[in-house]
Amino acid sequence: MKLVPRNLFFVVTLVAALFAAGCSRQSGEHLVLTGSSTIAPLATVLAERFEAAHPGVKVDVQAGGSARGVADVRQGLANIGMVSRALKADEGDLVADTIAQDGIAMIVHRDNPVAALTREQIIAIYTGKLRDWKAVGGTDAPITVVNKAEGRSTLELFLSHLKLEAPAIRADVVIGDNQQGIKTVAGNPQAIGYVSIGTAEYEAGRGTPVRLLPLDGVEPSTATVAAGRFPLSRPLNLVHRGELSGIARDFVAFARSPQVNDLVTGQYFVPPAVR
């Protein structure tokens, strides 16, 4: 199960933050990243590899939400902000560099005859108004709604995309990580769920009996997510203000380089198409 690494990243982030806080008065260059808790685990592993390649450099990663990332960069509290969405119109003073795309795919069992669902059907299913597959052209069987636990970025993205509030969801199964979601849907022909698109594509490709549903007519794949065409996706950005200093510029370039693609996919994100 992937829960342990997730927890580990939490601990690593904490330790890194404490350690960096303790070391901040030392000589040597110091870089502070704050913002989205979705990006923080990725930024932490990026920072580890960056520090290994640049002795004497300390990278301090603190999670606190995209809003904090924007605010900290504006106030000069952080060199780089982590923002897990596209910049808004009133954030024109900032520059965003996309280091990864976060996309989620709706998945059903491979034997489920339903080929596609509209946005309204998905909302009806997840709010409990639609309880049977027959109503959407499937077999006469109750729908098992698989939802994510609170706090997960996939849940957040799913809810914001469908404009739903968490209490409106009527779930039958609540899962933690992506693997559990895959296993739950693979073991239940009536289930519908959503997981990170990288995981879903990988599992479907190696023969796990799950199928990814197209959304608004767009094929669900890491390719369409990377191209920014898949609707249920969002960019993961590093934002900054004005010119970046030497080491911060190096870090952003490093985070966008192909040599960290393994770290990006390791966090179930999609590396951007153009590097």
Partner 1 sequence: MSPASISFRRPSADRLLYRALAVSAGAVAAILALILVYLTAASASLLFADAGLWRLDWHPSLGAYGLLAMLVGSLTVSALALLFAVPPGLVLAIWGRFFAPPWLGGLYRGAMGLLASIPSVVYGFWGLVTLVPWLNRWAPPGASLLAAALVLALMILPILVLQADLALDEARRRHLPAAMALGASVSGTVRRVLLPTAAPELLPAVLLQLGRALGETMAVLMVAGNVVQLPATITSPIRTLTANIALEMAYASGAHQTALFASGWLLLVLVTLIMLGARAMAGRFGAGPAGEGRGDAR
Which residues inside 60-89 make contact with partner 1, applying CB under 8 A? 63-64
Footprint on residues 26-55 left by partner 1 (CB under 8 A): 37
Return d(Cα 199, Cα 222) in angstroms, integer: 10
* Cβ–Cβ under 8 Å, residues 79 and 33: yes
**At a CB cut-off of 8 Å and minimum separation 6, what does 259 contact?**
none
Instruction: Give the one residue of 116, 141, 229, 245 binding partner 1; rule: CB under 8 A.
Output: 141
CB of 41 to partner 1, least distance (A): 9
| Residue 107 beta carbon to partner 1: minimum distance, rounded to whole angstroms | 15
Kindly list the distances between the CA atom of residue 263 and the CA atoms of 99, 166, 257, in Å, as whole numbers in the listed order: 11, 30, 11
* 94 torsion bin: left (phi>0), alpha (psi -120 to 50), beta (else): beta
- 166 is an interface residue for partner 1 by CB under 8 A: yes
Radius of gyration for the alpha carbons in the chain, expressed in angstroms and rounded:
20
Distance CA 196, CA 182 (A): 10
**CA 62, 64, 67, 70: dihedral to nearest 10 degrees?**
-10
Binding residue count for partner 1, defined by CB under 8 A: 34
**CB closer to partner 1, 176 vs 228:** 176
Span near partner 1 by CB under 8 A; candidates 23-31, 112-120, 142-150, 235-243: 142-150
Question: What sections of the chain are H helices per DSSP?
Answer: 3-23, 40-53, 66-75, 119-126, 153-162, 178-186, 197-205, 222-226, 246-255, 261-266
Counting contacts by CB under 8 A, is residue 142 touching partner 1? yes
Report, in Å, the least distance between residue 156 CB and partner 1. 9
Nearest to 239 by CA among 43, 53, 3, 52: 43
Is residue 119 a contact point for partner 1 (CB under 8 A)?
Answer: no
The answer to whether residue 18 forms part of the interface with partner 1 (CB under 8 A) is no
Q: What DSSP character marks residue 215?
A: B
Given the complex with partner 1, which of 43 and 175 has the nearer CB atom? 175
Please choose, out of 90-98, 141-149, 231-239, 262-270, the segment that lies near partner 1 by the rule CB under 8 A. Answer: 141-149
Binding mask 171-210 for partner 1 (x = CB under 8 A): xxxxxx---x--xx-xxx-xx-------------------
Minimum CB–partner distance for residue 3 and partner 1 (Å): 7
Does the protein bind partner 1 through residue 136 (CB under 8 A)? no
Burial of 241 (0-12, 13-18, 19+ CB in 10 A): middle
Instruction: Please give the residue ranges that form the binding site for partner 1 (CB under 8 A).
Output: 1, 3, 6-7, 9-10, 37, 63-64, 141-142, 144, 149-153, 165-167, 171-176, 180, 183-184, 186-188, 190-191
